[in-house]
Amino acid sequence: MGRTLNEKEVKQINLFHHHNNGGGRSEVDDVADHYGGEMLYDGDNCVSTYDKDQPEMNFGGTMWGEGGQEEDKQSGKQRLLVVANRLPVSATKMQNNEWKLEISVGGLVSALLGLKDFEAKWIGWAGVDVPDKAVQESLTKAMAEKKCVPVFLDKETVNQYYNGYCNKILWPLLHYLGLPQDETYTSESHYDVYKRANLLFAEAVTKHYKEGDIVWCHDYHLMLLPQYLKQYNSKLKVGWFLHTPFPSSEIQRTLPTRSELLKSVLAADIIGFHTYDYARHFVSACNRILGLEGTPEGVEDRGKLTKVATFPIGIDANRFIRTLTLPKVQEYLTNLRERFAGRKIILGVDCLDMIKGIPQKILAFEKFLEDNPDWSDKVVLLQIAVPTRTDVPEYQSLRRHVHEIVGRVNGRFGTLSSVPIIYLDRSLDFQALCALYSITDIALVTSLRDGMNLVSYESKQVVLILSEFAGAAQSLGAGAILVNPWNITDVSSAIAYALNMPCEERKLRHKLNFEHVTIHTAQEWAKMFIRELNETVVEAQLRTTQSWTQPLLPVNDAIEQFVQSDNQLLVLGFNATLSSVECPFKDGKVIDLGSTLNPNLQEPLRRICNDCQTTVIVISGSKRDVLDKVFDGYNVWLAAENGIYLRHTSGDWTTTMPEFSGMEWVDSIKHVFEYFTKRTPHSFIEERETSLLWNYKYADSKFARLQAKDLLLHLWTGPVCSSSVDVYQGAQSVDVRAVGLTKGAAIDRILTEIAYSIVMDKPINYVLCIGHFLGKDEDLYSFFEPEPSVQPLRLSKSKAAVAGNGLKSSVKSDSAGTHCRIATCSTVESVVTYESTTVLDIKRENYFPCTVGRKHSRARYVLESSKDVVLLLEGLAEVLPSLCA
């Protein structure tokens, strides 16, 4: 991870210097001079139109018009299958019944232009209804030359899948507009057609898939696609990216098909969002709706980790800069400067959409003119509203409403020679837009909810007033004036401040935005996502190899190695390993009787503990008095409270990690636990000295899991936010401890204390580590694993220093195994020093890390239940020699 972050940082720094120094042109730069830009997505990012006279484009390193028949394997590049609702190639039927292909390029295609290391192919809806199979074959062949694969959908499918489920249900929900009240759009038939359409996309992918390909799925139109693809081939590399917001779990949970969609998306290897908030909402929804555990890396489901990350998309900044030098753009600039001489220009470029906040923008400008009448003939709002979904009644109503407001404002503040608002119900070509951006003084973006509004990236050398609800606010917030678009007065004041902003502040804000835009380009966005996808797949394979496929413990081998060794160490968990539990109910209430030692283990464990060549450590999250009671009379080391407290049964308790003994946070956490204990029959709280645990192992399992999900949400949004604690979710419990307190962190210091306390004349050459530990406690298994890169060190420390730093600093590992050096001591003025003697001599064949009853674990081996632990320890006891005196 550190290597990846360093590579990213170096690349960004180099890219920034390249832009500032007028970096050289690439093949992509030469091609990009000529193309226009119709956004592929119907929701958040439509700005400009396509260029019909555009030449062939370099897409993914192969000329579209030349590479269609070329064998991909000849290029030696990794293949990338981009699956989106729309293709960047549209088919238009001419009057002579012939079909003409036109290329419409948007942000996604622009991003893929820079991927020279990949052989890209695009799969998407053809965009037209072509029932004739012969015509379909002809179009498919023609589009193949453009590296595109069309998916043909009939009119009824498009109406229910695209217009119905996607645009009437998913899109409003994702933008916080809620589900429609019209029962026509809430019927199951739309979802059935949505599934059928996703299956058609999946069939197209599988038809063109070759081993090693990357499949990159895009947007809410294809939320079921990752699952369909994984069902076809579980080893397929699949990424999914959402180009819209993702709402909070409270909104998402209203969707009738919420669980099916979330589960399907989680089949992908990596899920990408524009902002951290959207990613956080997704993880929260998976936790609250599906009951899955959220981690800093993503969402974990039965051992499978789906990575969830943020990838803010950008623009091709060089393209805008180069376009300004074109003669046609210079002509535009001259005309615009003459037209608006003496007036400040406020520019708005949006799709005419419910979420773009165009009415709020115009009302705020009206408020500004009311409060600042001197500006009425010195400023103009130029609003370009690109029509979308013109056949939808809601959009027709929005268009009429905007026209009414524009007419009223111009009627109030306009004159015979000028009006304060120029409103265009149309799109402009890219060159005209570049000219407008160049002369603009203020760019005004008032989105009510947006995925990643790229207009805010395209504005050059202007003051940017940006809605705090736009995804770009998290990227450009440092250089922009952030506003709440619903607060008309706030936006009006921001306009006034921007118009009167000092020159130095304007330059500083522009510098911050320009640096971000030139570094975080569309091409870098695509490269970053694909790189993360590849790395995620490799990491998942490593986890599968190293962690999730444990064989059963080879009991005979473990016993044989035990016999052959002459200094053994057994590290044993207690709960669900050595314990048995009595019925805790009395009068319908839970009576916490605690755990007791399994009766079948009492005699074999006593024999093992009394063996002079064997050291036994019982490490548990239980309290000290519990372990004292259970193991009274055993010759054993007890590590209570996850290893913070340690004692031999013949001695007193000592503290191994005093820095974790503070419990200032416990009251706020306990308050939440008490609330859920009342709500969940047969659950109870275990209050320990260094942790707090809510246990629901005796409660109704289904209901208790739902309560646990709500409890976790309460913790993360409340007391955990302001406390230095970790939350551990077990199979039937929620455990809260101080940050960093794990059994793996404790074992280092435990061994140090033991090595100090006993005379060890020969190294430990056998370790058996068994337990039913929480996932984050399984770093205990890793402690004894050989680490070839670690160099040997000699220790000469006081006891206190040793207890503070632990043995791990003195671990030597090589092909022969793991060695820890310490031993004979001498005391001078209360300072204990250790001369070099080996304590641990561990090889892979004499180390047996084993989990109990957990199917997914870091341990190398597994025992199915505590009954198997009994059989194992009985076997070890039987081979012991006569007890030592």
In which residue are the tokens 């645990």 written? 693
Residue with tokens 């093949």: 27
Tens-place pLDDT, residues 445-493: 988 876 555 454 444 558 889 888 887 776 776 778 889 999 999 999 9
In three-state secondary structure terms, 118 is strand
Asked if residues 79 and 210 have their Cβ atoms less than 8 Å apart, the reply is: yes
Report how far residue 580's alpha carbon sits from residue 603's, in angstroms, rounded to the nearest whole number.
15
Give the per-residue pLDDT at 191: 92
Low-confidence residues in the chain, pLDDT < 70: 1-76, 104-116, 182-188, 303, 450-461, 474, 477, 542-549, 580-594, 660-662, 719-723, 759-760, 786-838, 855, 882-885
- Beta-bridged to residue 216, according to DSSP, are 82, 239
Dihedral over alpha carbons 829, 830, 831, 834 (to 10 degrees):
120
What is the enclosing helix (H) or strand (E) of 736? strand 733-738
Q: 885: number of CA atoms within 13 Å, CB side?
A: 0
pLDDT at 829: 31
pLDDT tens-digit profile of 579-625? 865 444 444 455 454 578 889 999 999 999 999 889 999 998 888 98
Burial of residue 589 (number of CB atoms within 10 Å: 0-12, 13-18, 19+): exposed
- The pLDDT value recorded for residue 241 is 94
pLDDT at 258: 92
Our CA dihedral for 281, 282, 284, 289, rounded to 10 degrees, sits at 130
pLDDT score of 666:
83
- DSSP one-letter code for 24: P
Res 797: pLDDT: 35
User: What pLDDT is recorded for position 300?
Assistant: 83
| Tokens (6 digits) for 368 | 């500004």
Q: For residue 298, count CB atoms less than 10 angstroms from its CB and return exposed for 0-12, middle for 13-18, buried for 19 or more.
A: buried
- Residue 450 pLDDT: 63
> Taking the chain, what is the end-to-end CA distance rounded to the nearest angstrom?
52
Q: Is 692 exposed, middle or buried (0-12, 13-18, 19+ CB in 10 A)?
A: buried
